[in-house]
């Protein structure tokens, strides 16, 4: 399992963010029954940089809390049965790991939302990673049923890791 974590902001979180990220990534993959060793890239940045990315990739002119860039396409969320058919596109040739994608997190938003929602920065970081991991596994929340399913899964992943409000 490869979890690359890069902090591209000088204003770092004052908590064991690498441990939290690793725990939530692993818990998410276990919860989603991913049958492969996987590779996930996580970048911690600030509101200014995530604002630029949000505008460039989503056409939304404001900072957001997290952006997910999945490497895989799914007919059904977390259905990994097709990936071996596209082995060259889905697996890292050097490690043999399934390349799930990238997560970009705003450290500023972690702080702002933790305060706004009245819970710890640890819980907010864990929530955003779980949310993004579900996107990397093919889930979305554009419709009510999808949103409810993602919320249920996020909650269960966070409960498994002991990340409570």
d(C-alpha 56, C-alpha 58), whole Å: 6
Q: How many CB atoms lie within 10 A of CB 86?
A: 11
Q: 104: which strand partners?
A: 43, 67
Asked if 108 and 51 touch (Cβ cutoff 8 Å), the reply is no
135 appears as a binding residue in the annotation: yes
Question: Of 74, 5, 69, which Cα lies nearest the Cα of 34?
Answer: 74
> Under 8 Å CB-to-CB from 40, ≥6 apart: which residues?
2, 3, 4, 25, 100, 101, 102, 103, 133, 136
Residue where the block lists tokens 């490497």: 71
Per DSSP bridges, beta strands 38-45 and 2-7 are: parallel
Give the tokens for residue 144: 């009510």
Annotated binding site for Zn(2+): 131, 135, 141
Annotated binding site: 131, 135, 141
């Amino acid at each position: 399992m490869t979890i690359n974590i890069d902090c591209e902001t000088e204003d770092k979180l004052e908590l064991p963010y690498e441990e939290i990220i690793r725990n939530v990534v692993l818990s998410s993959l276990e919860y989603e029954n991913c049958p492969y060793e996987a590779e996930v890239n996580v970048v911690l940045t600030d509101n200014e940089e995530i604002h630029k990315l949000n505008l460039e990739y989503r056409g939304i002119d404001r900072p957001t809390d997290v952006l997910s860039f999945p490497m895989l396409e799914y007919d059904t969320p977390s259905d990994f049965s097709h990936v071996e058919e596209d082995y060259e596109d889905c697996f890292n040739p050097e490690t043999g790991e399934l390349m799930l994608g990238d997560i970009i997190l705003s450290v500023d938003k972690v702080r702002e939302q933790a305060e706004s929602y009245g819970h710890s920065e640890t819980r907010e970081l864990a929530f955003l990673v779980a949310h993004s991991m579900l996107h990397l596994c093919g889930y979305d929340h554009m419709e009510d049923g999808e949103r409810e399913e993602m919320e249920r899964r996020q909650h269960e992943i966070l409960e498994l890791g002991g990340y409570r409000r």
